[in-house]
Amino acid sequence: MQTNMHKAKQLDKHDTLGHYREEFYTSSEKIYLDGNSLGLLSTRAETALLHLLNSWKEHGIDGWTEGEYPWFYLSETLGAMTAPLIGALDKEVMITGSTTANLHQLTASFFQPYGKRTKILADTLNFPSDIYALKSQLQLKGLNPDDHLVQVKSTDGNTLQTSAIIEAMTEDIAFIILPSVLYRSGQILDMETITEEAHLRGIKVGFDLCHSIGAIPHQLSAWDVDFAFWCTYKHLNGGPGSVGGLYVNRKHFGTAPGLAGWFSSDKAKQFDMEHNLTPATHAGAFQIGTPHVLSAAPLIGSLEMITEAGIEAIRKKSLQLTAYFMNLIDKELAGYGFTIANPRSDSLRGGHIYLEHKEAARICKALKANGVIPDFRNPNGIRLAPVALYNTFSEVWQTVQILKNIMEEKTYTNYENKRGVIA
């Protein structure tokens, strides 16, 4: 055991990203492993928020065009800061709306059923919100979701096969929405191959990047992905309810927004107050309403830090953390009923590990009581996300020892095996 702890400390000693932990509000009494649900606050994000709050105080309405970060152009500014993380051009990315609002916008804009092609292809493992949105978009077009939403099934309940996704690309599919990383198991889908195969069949394809952006590199433009959308409060550490983002491939510039609004406008024309919209000539056309300035502000600091650290370095450490985690689980928790249900391969594993156990809900409660913050997923899943910018190898080692103690002493039996209101 001492040898293992020594190894963790050695790994921390040689961690080139370790100093970033000092910039986050961590607690000496807690090990926070839920950054794939909500990232921690950093001092840079806090400073950025206070800076834009002060611009309101100092400039009033002139803050729209004055100050270091004029609000009128904030979505574009943050889009340009985000673009390198997903392999896109500045004008292809916009920080705006929310995950679901942006999915509605992109579906309304690019799902155009015609002839035989009247169906949307998704999957059975996606986050429910995406499926809710797709069903409502079908209904708005007078199409029955029971007939026109096709969902690729999983053979093991946790992962999807690329071959099954391709096989489902039949001649009646017009539009595909898939997650880049599955929110439960953390599996990375082969976005490049899926996009290529969809385009060979004349199908537009987009990805939900909520569990990948800020954790793994992407090359959306090189892969010719049609569009993507995401939240910014997980690995981007933008804060609770922070503004979402969208990507639209430049080949689609000029497509009219399906849900037009005030900020869909060409900025040079926006205040002409004409009742005929002149859309922006880039991804800005797919904005709808006024930017949520104070909800977007923390991203200035967060994206600055991620850019400085480098997404490749973040990915490298993330893989090291999760590999170390799995290795310890294999050695220390064998015989306690845990199954590592996330992919083990580096090329398929996202930024978290996923354990299954029949007592998962009560084990999560026991972990919290012992200062470890996990994430329970109904019915039997435990997500643990060691984040490269603020978690340590020593925390991973400590978590496994706490888990082992919980199982040995059966302290999890003190809790009901039922999720809380939020899980």
Exposure string (b/e) for 288-319, b if CB count within 10 Å is 16 or more? beebbbebbbbbbbbbbbbeebebeebbebbb
Is residue 129 part of an annotated ligand binding site? yes
Is residue 100 part of an annotated ligand binding site? yes
CA–CA separation, 281 vs 91, rounded Å?
9
Q: Which helix or strand (DSSP H or E) is residue 214 part of?
A: none
Burial of 61 (0-12, 13-18, 19+ CB in 10 A): exposed
CA–CA separation, 347 vs 390, rounded Å?
23
> Is the separation of the CB atoms in 302 and 80 below 8 Å?
no
Strands 339-340 and 353-356: antiparallel
Is residue 208 part of an annotated ligand binding site? yes
Strands 31-32 and 381-384: unpaired
User: Which token pair is 177?
Assistant: 């929405």
Is residue 130 part of an annotated ligand binding site? yes
> Is the separation of the CB atoms in 342 and 352 below 8 Å?
yes
Is residue 302 part of an annotated ligand binding site? no
Give the three-class secondary structure for 415: coil
Q: How does DSSP assign 33-49, residue by residue?
A: -BTTTSPPPBHHHHHHH
Question: With left for phi above 0 and alpha for psi between -120 and 50, is residue 186 left, alpha or beta?
Answer: left
> Is the separation of the CB atoms in 180 and 211 below 8 Å?
yes
User: Which token pair is 130?
Assistant: 């995406």
Is residue 128 part of an annotated ligand binding site? yes
Is residue 224 part of an annotated ligand binding site? no
For tokens 């406008």, name the residue: 265
398-400-404-406 Cα dihedral, nearest 10 degrees:
70
Is residue 339 part of an annotated ligand binding site? no
Residue type, 62: D
Is the sign of the CA dihedral 36, 38, 42, 48 positive or negative? positive
**For residue 93, which phi and psi values (nearest 5 degrees)?**
-125, 140
Is residue 170 part of an annotated ligand binding site? no
Q: Which helix or strand (DSSP H or E) is residue 383 part of?
A: strand 381-384
Is residue 211 part of an annotated ligand binding site? yes
Is residue 393 part of an annotated ligand binding site? no
Annotated binding-site residue numbers for pyridoxal 5'-phosphate: 99-100, 127-130, 208, 211, 233, 262, 290
Annotated binding-site residue numbers: 99-100, 127-130, 208, 211, 233, 262, 290
